[in-house]
Structure 1
Amino acid sequence: MCALAEAPVLGTTRKKRRGLENVQEALLECISGVKGRGKSGLSAEQEAQLQQAVAELEADGGVPAPTRSGLLEGRWRLLYTTRPGSASPIQRTFVGTDAFAVYQEILLDAEGDGGARVNNIVQFGGAGVLKVEAEAITDTRPREGFAPRKGQGFPLLGKSATYPPAAKDMRVDFQFDTAAFDLTALPFKIPYPVPFKLLGDETKGWLDITYLSPDGRFRLSRGNKGTLFVLVRDDPPTDRLLAAIMSGANDVQVSELVDAVEAEGGGEASPAQSRAIQGTWRLRWSVQAPNANALQRLAGRGARSFQVVGGAAGPGRLENRLELLPGLRVRASAACSPQGRRRTRVAIDGVFLELFGLRVPLPIKQNEPGYVDWLYLDDNLRITRGNKGSVFVHTREA
């Protein structure tokens, strides 16, 4: 049985956040024994505790302006949903069946003709999937000529609410445009039998993000049919980390995701000895130690910074390139060699200011060799910690 303590009055952001995490954990405990993602399995007491937890989280809201946050991006797994009489046919058919896994993809930064998307996915074990896709529209991603859903709709397809969002940048309007079964036993997809082009307003809906946790792992949403959805992040921490960095999340949020990537493991087992470290890497985020040198602090303030390992730098060599202005850069060359599975020794032996090809040596010397510890490495992402304590996240450049 779940137990939800009353949230105390907390005086700091950290304590408040810890209190919300406790409420979130209590909510997840409440629904741990649920069947059919809310179809049955909750006692009256658990239902009351669940509603209290939802109310506390929604009152806080979590991440401000969630539809503008990269933390919303990615794949989410549905754990629980209320089942109002207005539920859509697909909800009544598939969501309440535990044998199927249900996911939602939110791709608000999608590029190309498809634009931003919201996709609902039903996974039939190893037999295949049903994917129902929709165009997504938000306050910061409008579509010219798009009119949000207005009417309550046909009762057969589920009665829709028409009230406006409670705040800006919390609602995702969507319009379904395609759906199909993709079964592993068949070499082709089977269209889902819904004529989207003929249904007009019935293909439209909306989703309010009523709570998004600061770590981007948990959210509450309410749909236009009156349904509450409880979802948890299903994509790997590496994806969440990159999404947070690209969305401009603060250093505390990014640092937590760095810790999550390191804790989960994966990637190269012996990164310092792996050929995967070679290539050109672009610095995406860093937290600099107080005693970091001037070049490191410049890189940490948003200047374009790259590191070339091996390749053009030469075997057993690396080069850091800091681009200050067009034609103006700083280049530092160093010898490097593995020291065990996760540490690389680095000895800087030259630093130059380069102006349109003209090199001027800079009087920056390293008295003793330094090192970097590899926290994570795969083909496209690396996380390292320097001997001064600075942490760096790089992505591979093509």
Structure 2
Amino acid sequence: MALKLVNLGFHSSIPCSPRPLKDRFVVRCSKVEQISFTESENSLIEALLGIQGRGRSSSPQQLNAVERAVQVLERLGGVPDPAAASIEDGKRILFRFDRAAFSFKFLPFKVPYPVPFRLLGDEAKGWLDTTYLSSSGNLHISKGNKGTTFVLQKQTEPRQRLLTAISSGKGIKEAIDELISLKQNIGQEPELEDGEWQMMWNSQTVTDSWIENAVNGLMGKQIIRKNGGIKFLVDILLGLKFSMSGNFVKTGSGVYDVTMDDAAIIGGPFGYPLELKNNFILELLYSDEKLRVSRGINNVIFVHVRTDALR
């Protein structure tokens, strides 16, 4: 399933706290109106966290979770007849492409895409079917004539704003500060959640040595076990993986002593052991079942997103 998440904007960057209220999730903000999601809508938002662009680099578990959440909402239906630009049954929007351009981060202008849309006739036309619109208008699901599923959200919450900042490369520190402040305001102690966690961003520029980056957790995934086990897993090339395992012990509020002492290059059923060892303090700055901000080796700040299926 092709996915595209589009954020249409939000009111403020003031910290907000999601709290369950019966079957709805209400994001409480001190100076803006409340953003309300049903439990089913919140499941879709949770599933989309960490999925970038069209979802091509996402794991099968992530895409399956999104597809299930979309199907649940489509069955519910939402607003019966959404959108003033639609025709026929009140759910289809027609459009025609007339211009396109390339946008590059390193250029202050857009480069025109030389496609003669007017000469393409019906090939430049398309349509979007609205399959779900929330009663609040915050969440919108559409399917296009080429089979693409679009999820559009009008108002976002702090975790989404952090991932958007990482994607754009702008405002990351401010988004992290907002998220940390949110957790402090709620007064909850962060816990090291078990599961498979993909690194999305770190505050240190990687070195020329991939092995050094892998040992320091600057690449790949972290796998956290309930029994106190931890593993770094990095895809190298041609099916080869770097694996480094160890253990963690909680030593304070959100603080863990981590020892990594079992490293190997893995190729299929075979492994080549490496004499590597690392010990560092892991401090959780923010953590929930889906996203984690931590401070690790050499005071590097990490952002990880959980990629396995939610419990």
TM-score, normalising length: structure 2: 0.50
Alignment equivalent of 1:306, drawn from 214, 221, 246:
221
Residue 122 of structure 1 corresponds to none
SS at match of 2:305: strand
Q: How does 1:103-182 map to 2 (within 5 A)?
A: 132-133=82-83, 146-147=95-96, 182=135
- CA deviation string 1:161-207 (max 9, x = no partner): xxxxxx859xxxx9896998949xxxxxxxxxxxxxxxxxxxxxxxx
Which amino acid is the alignment partner of residue 260 of structure 1?
Answer: E
Residue 353 of structure 1 aligns with which residue?
Answer: 265
2:196·2:306 contact (CA, 8 Å) conserved in 1? yes
Distance 1:365 1:135, change over 3 A: farther
Larger Rg: 1
Q: How does 1:1-80 map to 2 (within 5 A)?
A: 73-77=7-11
Letter in 2 for 1:358: F
**Which whole-Å CA distance do the structure 1 matches of 2:294 and 2:265 have between them?**
25
Residues 294-316 of structure 1: CA deviation (Å, up to 9, x unaligned): 5453599996x1111115xxx12
How far the C-alpha of 1:256 sits from its partner, in A, is: 2.8
RMSD of aligned residue pairs (Cα, Å): 4.9
8 Å contact kept, 2:222–2:231: yes
Counterparts of 1:257 and 1:76, CA distance in 2: 14
Structure 1 residues 102, 285: closer, same or farther in 2, change over 3 A? closer
Aligned length, in residue pairs: 203
% identity of equivalent residues: 22
Tell me the distance in 2 between the aligned counterparts of 1:178 and 1:364: 53
Residue in 1 that maps onto 2:275:
363
- Conservation of the 8 A alpha-carbon contact between 1:133 and 1:178: no
Shift in CA distance, 297/331, structure 1 to aligned 2, threshold 3 Å: same
Provide the C-alpha distance between the structure 2 equivalents of 1:363 and 1:336, rounded to a whole number of angstroms.
20
Distance 1:393 1:293, change over 3 A: farther
Report what 1:270 is aligned to: 189
Gaps in structure 2 of 5+ consecutive residues: 13-31, 36-47, 56-65, 71-78, 87-93, 99-108, 112-126, 137-153
Contact preservation (8 Å) 1:287, 1:300: no
Give the structure 2 partner of residue 316 of structure 1: 228
The aligned counterpart of 1:378 is: 288
How far is the alpha carbon of 1:238 from its aligned partner? 0.8
Structure 1: gaps of 5 or more residues: 1-69, 79-99, 116-128, 137-144, 150-166, 184-232
User: Counterpart of 2:298?
Assistant: 388
Once the 2 structures are TM-superposed, how far is the Cα of residue 355 of structure 1 from its aligned partner?
A: 1.5
Q: 2:175 aligns with which of 257, 260, 270?
A: 257
Change (3 A) 1:182 1:348: closer
**Gap change, CA 1:355 and 1:109, over 3 Å in 2:** closer
1:153-302 to structure 2, matched below 5 A, reads: 182=135, 234-245=155-166, 248-250=167-169, 252-265=170-183, 269-271=188-190, 274=191, 277-288=193-204, 294-295=210-211, 297=213
The aligned counterpart of 1:338 is: 250
List per-residue Cα deviations over 1:188-244 (Å, max 9, x = no partner): xxxxxxxxxxxxxxxxxxxxxxxxxxxxxxxxxxxxxxxxxxxxx952221111223
State the distance in 2 between where 1:181 and 1:394 align.
29
Kindly provide the CA deviation profile for residues 114-154 of structure 1, in whole angstroms up to 9, marking residues without a partner as x.
x9xxxxxxxxxxxxx99954889xxxxxxxx82379xxxxx
Q: Aligned partners of 2:208, 2:298: CA distance in 1, in Å?
A: 7
Tell me the distance in 2 between the aligned counterparts of 1:262 and 1:181: 29
Report the CA distance shift for 1:288/1:178 in structure 2 as closer, same or farther (over 3 A): closer
Cα drift, residue 370 of structure 1: 1.0
Distance 1:316 1:346 in 2: 10
When you count strand as a share of all residues, which structure comes out higher?
Answer: 2
Are residues 146 and 372 of structure 1, via their aligned partners in 2, closer, same or farther at CA, if it must alter by over 3 Å?
same
Secondary structure at the residue paired with 1:76?
Answer: coil
| CA–CA separation in structure 2 for the residues paired with 1:295 and 1:257 | 30
Cα deviation per residue 1:78-106 (whole Å; 9 max; x = unaligned)?
Answer: 9xxxxxxxxxxxxxxxxxxxxx9699xxx
Aligned-residue offset at 1:329: 0.6
User: What's the CA shift for 1:330?
Assistant: 0.6
Contact 1:291 1:388 in 2 (8 A): no
Amino acid of the structure 2 residue aligned with 1:360: Y
